[in-house]
Amino acid sequence: MDVKVAIRQLRVRFSKKEVLKGIDLDIFRHRISGLMGPAASGKSTLISVINKMVSFEDGVTMSGSVLLDGEDIINGDIDEVGLRKRIGTVFATPIPLPRSIFENVAYGPRLNKNYSRPDLYALVEESLRKAFLWDEVKDRLQESAMKLSGGQQQRLCLARTLALKPEIILLDEPCSGLDPISTAKIEEALSELKDQHTIILVSNNTKQIARATDFVAFFYMGELIEFGHTDKVFTTPAARMTEDYIQGKFG
Amino acid sequence: MRLNPRFTDKFIRGALLFQALFTVSILVFIVFIVFIKGAANITPQFIFSYPEDMGRHGGIFPAILGTVFLAVLSIALATPLGVGTAIYLTEYTKESTLTRIIRFGVESLAGIPSIIYGLFGFIFFVIKLKLGWSLLSGTLTIMIMVLPTIIRTAEEAIKAVPRNLRIVSFSLGATKWETVTKVVLPSAAPGILTGIMLSVGRAVSETAAVIFTMGSSLRLPTSLLDSGRTMAVHFYILAREGISLEKAYATALVLVVSILLINIAAYYTMNKMIGRYS
Average of pLDDT values for B83-101? Answer: 91
Give residue A126's pLDDT.
96
**Angle ∠(B248,B251,B257) on CA atoms, nearest 5:** 140
pLDDT-derived band at B255, boundaries 50, 70, 90: very high
A84, A97, A100 ranked by CB distance to B170: nearest: A84
Rounded to the nearest integer, the mean pLDDT of chain B is 92
User: Which residue of chain A comes nearest to B183, CA vs CA?
Assistant: A97
Q: How distant is the Cα of B81 from the closest Cα of chain A, in angstroms?
A: 26
Query: Residue A169: what pLDDT?
Result: 96
Return the number of other C-beta atoms located less than 10 Å from residue B266's C-beta: 18
Rg of chain B over Cα atoms, rounded to whole angstroms, equals 23
Please indicate if any CB of chain A lies within 8 Å of the CB of B170.
yes
- Name chain A contacts of B184, Cβ cutoff 8 Å: none
Distance from the B88 Cα atom to the nearest Cα atom in chain A, whole angstroms: 17
A50 interaction partners in chain B (CB closer than 8 Å): none
- The pLDDT of residue B273 is above 80: no
Q: Hey, are the CB atoms on B186 and A95 less than 8 Å from each other?
A: no
Contact list in A for residue B173 (CB cut-off 8 A) is: 81-82, 84-85, 108, 111-112, 164
Cβ pair A84:B186 closer than 8 A: no
Q: Residue B60 and residue B74: Cα distance in Å, rounded?
A: 21
pLDDT at position B278 is: 55
pLDDT average, residue stretch B4-8: 85
Question: 0.90 cut: is pTM over it?
Answer: no
From the list A171, A222, A163, A218, the residue with the least C-alpha distance to A47 is A171
Looking at residue B231, what is its pLDDT?
94
Model confidence at B96: pLDDT above 90 = no
Inter-chain residue contact A84 with B175, CB threshold 8 Å:
no
Given a cut of 80, whether residue B20 has pLDDT beyond it is yes
Share of chain B above pLDDT 70, in %: 98
Distant-in-sequence, close-in-space partners of B109: CB < 8 Å, separation ≥ 6: B144, B147, B148
* B275 pLDDT higher than 80: no
Residues of B in contact with A161 (CB under 8 A): 171-172
Q: Which of A93, A95, A157 sits opposite B165 (nearest CB)?
A: A95
Q: How confident is the model at residue A1 (pLDDT cuts 50, 70, 90)?
A: confident
Domain boundaries, chain B: 44-276
Task: Tell me if B191 sits within 8 A of B156, measured CB to CB.
Answer: yes
Question: A16 pLDDT band (50/70/90 cuts)?
Answer: confident
Residue B235 and residue B255 in contact, taking contact as beta carbons nearer than 8 Å: yes
Number of domains comprising chain A: 1
CA B172 to chain A, closest CA, distance in angstroms equals 5
Residue A36's CATH number: 3.40.50.300
> Rounded to a whole number, what is the distance in Å from the CA of B275 to chain A's nearest CA?
10
Interface of A with B (CB under 8 A): 51, 53, 56, 81-82, 84-85, 88-89, 91, 93, 95, 97-100, 107-108, 111-112, 144-146, 157, 160-161, 164
Q: Which residues 41-100 on chain B approach chain A with CB closer than 8 angstroms?
A: none
**Cα separation of A19 and A44, whole Å?**
10
Work out the pLDDT band at A154, boundaries 50, 70, 90. Answer: very high
User: Would the pLDDT of B70 be above 80?
Assistant: yes
Alpha-carbon distances of A72 from A78, B80, B123, B169, B172, rounded to whole Å: 8, 41, 61, 24, 21
Residue B168: closest C-alpha in chain A: A95
pLDDT given at position B276: 61
User: A50: nearest CA in chain B?
Assistant: B171
Amino acid at B148: P
Chain-chain contact of A84 with B171 (C-beta, under 8 angstroms): yes
Q: What is the pLDDT of residue A141?
A: 94
Q: What is the DSSP string of A154-179?
A: HHHHHHHHHTT--SEEEEESTTTT--
- Compute the Cα dihedral for B72, B75, B78, B83 and give only its sign: negative
Smallest CA–CA distance from B165 into chain A, residue: A97
Parent domain of A205: 3-246
B6: CB partners within 8 A, 6+ apart? none
> pLDDT by residue (tens digit) across A175-222?
988 889 989 999 999 999 999 999 999 998 899 999 999 999 999 999
CB contact under 8 A, A81 and B175: yes
Give the rounded percent of residues in chain B with a pLDDT score beyond 90: 72
Residue B268 pLDDT > 90, yes or no? no
Residue B274 with chain A: CB contacts under 8 Å: none
A184 in a structural domain: yes
pLDDT score recorded for residue A57: 85
- Nearest chain A residue to B171 by CA: give it: A84
Q: Measured between alpha carbons, how far is B84 from A150 in angstroms, rounded to an integer?
A: 35
CA B267 vs. chain centroid, Å, equals 14
Tell me what the mean pLDDT of segment B210-234 comes to: 93
Q: Which residues of B221-238 are buried (b: 16+ CB within 10 A; e: fewer)?
A: beeeebbbbbbbbbbbbb
DSSP character string of A76-131: S---HHHHHHHEEEE-SS----SSBHHHHHHHHHHHH----HHHHHHHHHHHHHHT
What average pLDDT does this structure show over A50-60?
88
In chain B, which residues have their Cβ closer than 8 Å to the Cβ of A92?
A: none
Is the pLDDT at B277 greater than 60? The verdict is: no
Chain B hits for A105, CB-CB cut-off 8 Å, are none
- Asked if B167's CB is within 8 angstroms of A95's CB, the reply is yes
Residue B1's pLDDT band (boundaries 50, 70, 90)?
A: low
Tell me whether residues A164 and B173 touch, CB distance under 8 A. yes
Higher pLDDT, B248 or B267: B248
| Nearest-neighbour CA in chain A from B98: distance (Å) | 19
Task: Reply yes or no on whether the pLDDT at A231 is more than 80.
Answer: yes
| Residue B75 one-letter amino acid | I
H or E stretch at B251 = helix B245-276
pLDDT for the residue A204? 86
Taking the Cβ of residue B178 and every Cβ of chain A, the question of whether any pair is shorter than 8 Å is answered with yes
- Alpha-carbon distance of A47 to A38, in angstroms, equals 15
Is the residue at A251 inside a domain? no
d(CA A205, CA A37): 9
What's the CATH fold of domain B44-276? Answer: MetI-like fold (1.10.3720)
Closest CA to B154 of B105, B94, B203, B86: B86
C-alpha span between B98 and B255 (Å, rounded)? 41
Task: Tell whether the model's pLDDT for residue A72 goes beyond 60.
Answer: yes
Could B278 and A111 be called an inter-chain contact, meaning their C-beta atoms sit closer than 8 Å?
A: no
Q: HSE (CB half, 13 Å, CA atoms) of A8? A: 13
A33 falls in which pLDDT band (50, 70, 90)?
very high
Average pLDDT over chain A reads 92
Please give the Cα distance from A66 to A74 (Å, whole number): 6
Whether residue A231 lies inside any domain: the answer is yes
